[in-house]
Chains A and B, each alone.
Chain A
Amino acid sequence: MPAVTQIRSRTVALPAANIDTDQIIPARFLTATSKAGFGKHLFADWRYDGDGNPKPDFALNKPEAKGAAILVAGRNLGCGSSREHAPWALQDFGFAAVISTEFADIFRTNCLKNGLLPVLVDEKTHAWLLANPNVELNIDVASTTLTLPDGTAVKFPLEGFAKYCLLNGVDELGFLLSKGDSIAAYESAHL
């Protein structure tokens, strides 16, 4: 996984609460067997009309959303299915960070495993970000700080190991494999 240290980009906002992974990537696209190419199906049923044309009023289709790498979403983002295709689709579309006041557990884990940064913010910051879409933010992983356009710095929580992995591009599987002796000892004690 490539290291993630800093994200500087404009935001795009989807204020709905409880955006589930079925919306992020509908089930009919899950038959793929590789990780690539899910971006074109991201939010498919919200993004396109019945004929497959982009709906002009959907936030991600607006011209000002182009190139935005930070998604601000309503509370409880990523609830529902464990499909890792959701973060794959968000990343493939171009997102590097997602901001909300609450993330579903499995979704948050899946994001971190792929270097898509989940940024948990307080209600006040969240309300401001939703009311002011398409603003430029800076997110610094080392100091776990989100900087608003007026210079206000907002701290966000990030578990120590997850932060270490992001900053150093550490591959967790490599870490687990390095525990092979402990795993073998556990296995022989629990036959």
Chain B
Amino acid sequence: MSNPFQKTKMVPVPSHSIIPERDLGKAPILECQHLGIEFGGLKAVNDLNLTIGRTEIAGLIGPNGAGKTTVFNLLTKVYHPTHGTILLDGKDTSGKTTEQINKMGIARTFQNIRLFSNLSVEDNVKIGLHNQEVYSTLSGILRLPSYWKKEKEAHERALELLSIFDMQDMAGMKAGSLPYGAQRRLEIVRALATNPKLLLLDEPAAGMNPSETAELMENIVKIRDTFQIAVLLIEHDMNLVMNICEGICVLNFGEVIAKGTAEEIQGNPVVIEAYLGKKKEG
């Protein structure tokens, strides 16, 4: 398989993880230590250690029900972990709310799309800009100069962000009326609007056709390059994962069963077994 995407060498860091060599000098954007959550008796995620470099594109893969989305929900405090710590940019995130986590630098998309479907595409992005283009409610109601200035900025910024996916012509459309693939792209744009340091993408290619997926791959790399942020993505499309992800973490039944580069993961018999369900014990 020839890979058009350039990857750097991966190097080990103290927390039993690997990050891209170019990020070595900088503190990792995310460090999970012994992260876990139980629902009743079910350990949906158990003892997860994960380190992500500043500008890394990392992958989180695993069979259905492995606990991947739960990891995203833990990182964004939709659920609060029962075990372990999450360090975002070196800062402990325990006790934070979803809203605060976003302000600290994590933005995400959702596996089952969650757009503001009655609002326009542009308004969806502007809502992402909520903490970027700030003016008071009173300035808004009285239409003071700060309203006009910030609204103009938000409008321009929204179109600029939409242009990443060439969606600026759809700005006036209702978000809920967009085709599926465009809705997924809009979620990425909305997340990017919050100016994150770490972007979490939950199955960004789901429901996309091969040419859309190929374009998405290029755009994810482009986003990382232009914004200089880290991306952690969950994806079942192995072509996408193996092509653009630098470090890959494989979950099965909430446990990490393998970690490494695309090459290492591809050849790992444990991973193959988890996916194919071959020789399942118990």
**A, B assembled together:** no
A residues whose Cβ falls under 8 Å from a Cβ of B = none
